[in-house]
Amino acid sequence: MTRMDLQILKFFLIFSYLHSTKGIQSGDIVLQNDARFIASIRLRSLEQQTIGIGFLCTASLINDRHAITAATCVTNFFASQLQIILGVENISSRNSRAVIRDIQRMHFHPNFNRTSESSELNGNVAVLQLSISIRQSPSRWSILQYSSIMNFHVQPIKISDFILNSSSICQFFSWSNDPTSCKRIPDLLGTSLAIVKSDECLNSDSIFCAHRLNDLNPILCGNLGGAFLCGNTLYGIATRNVCNEIGHFVLLPYYKQWILAVSKSNILTTQNAYGIVLISIAILLL
Ligand SMILES: *[C@@H]1O[C@H](CO)[C@@H](O)[C@H](O)[C@H]1NC(C)=O
Ligand SMILES: *[C@@H]1O[C@H](CO)[C@@H](O)[C@H](O)[C@H]1NC(C)=O
Ligand SMILES: *[C@@H]1O[C@H](CO)[C@@H](O)[C@H](O)[C@H]1NC(C)=O
């Protein structure tokens, strides 16, 4: 079979699988391999009781040491109360692919005002610094401390540079609630959405709106922090936890410079520190 045939076969298999499983209104089931950057934020104290019940919201990995999510998801907690989990598509499961990290520090955008009524719509973006890189072993005794192929199934996503026209069609990935029962669905879901200009959408430079392509079913039921991807780059994050036909998203190209600035400096210093430790050991051994 040619490469093309294999692609067609793959899509056919995925299609048949999705049709054989029970339909979920708010989207199709997505496997972790198809959204390798996707992460979830958990409240540690609840997670310790039952895996999955500490789920707070969806996040996206933007480099080996940082993730972004909605500021409103994490603003009421200390970093030490939270955990981030990558590498699994089922929020109630902790198999060997799960990559779990503590959160060391949270950066909130300067425009974000947690006490303001419009906090969801202004600077609702937080950059979370992981305690250690996803490429570094959390075990003190591991011989392999750092490897570029460690947790290769988890990969960061780039943030979009350009603002798109309305009616552009993009992909949305998130954990969410069933729109009728309001119960949390354990699977990661994905759906195609179209960017829309509408009266319901605020006239804001930093927010955009989107809806589903073929119907007006709600897209946002407990989808806070969900990832809006256009052409394989991260274009937006879901900014409200409501259940509406029109979803509001933080426009990430608008915040890109700030995001890169707060997520860059720390990486360099850790790598430098690591290098200095290695050189010191080398000198001692000589
Ligand atoms: C998710 O994981 C839990 C715990 O392992 C399991 O009971 C449940 O069936 C899984 N759900 C799906 C949809 O695979
Ligand atoms: C944040 O919002 C509150 C309530 O609207 C307001 O009183 C306060 O001045 C705002 N803070 C800043 C720094 O803008
Ligand atoms: C957006 O629309 C303008 C005018 O309608 C067009 O010139 C431009 O090429 C479009 N941009 C993209 C990225 O489609």
Domains and CATH numbers, the chain: 28-260 (2.40.10.10)
pLDDT at 22 over 60: no
pLDDT of residue 145: 80
> CA-to-CA distance for 267 and 34, rounded, in angstroms?
26
Q: How many helices (H) and strands (E) does the chain have?
A: 4, 13
113 lines ligand 2 (CB under 6 A): yes
Quick one: which ligand is closest to 89's CA? 1
pLDDT in tens, 77-119: 999 999 999 999 999 988 899 999 999 999 999 999 999 888 8
Opening angle at CA 67, ends 229 and 159, nearest 5: 35
Say yes or no to pLDDT of 33 above 50: yes
Instruction: Judge if the beta carbon of residue 20 lies within 6 A of ligand 3.
Output: no
Answer whether residue 197 shows pLDDT above 90.
no
Q: Which residue's C-alpha comes closest to atom 13 of ligand 1? A: 187
Per-residue pLDDT for 199 more than 70?
Answer: yes
Ligand 1 close to Cβ of residue 187 (< 6 A): yes
Exposure class string for 228-265: b at 16+ Cβ within 10 A, else e: bbbeeebbbbbbbbbbeebbbbbbbbbbeebbeebbee
252 C-alpha vs ligand 1 centroid, how far in Å? 32
Distance 115 CA to ligand 2 centre (A): 6
2 pLDDT above the threshold of 90: no
Tokens of 39: 């992460």
Residue 238: name the closest of 42, 117, 68 by CA: 68
Grade residue 257 by pLDDT with cuts at 50, 70 and 90: very high
Q: Ligand 1 centroid to 230 CA: how many Å?
A: 29
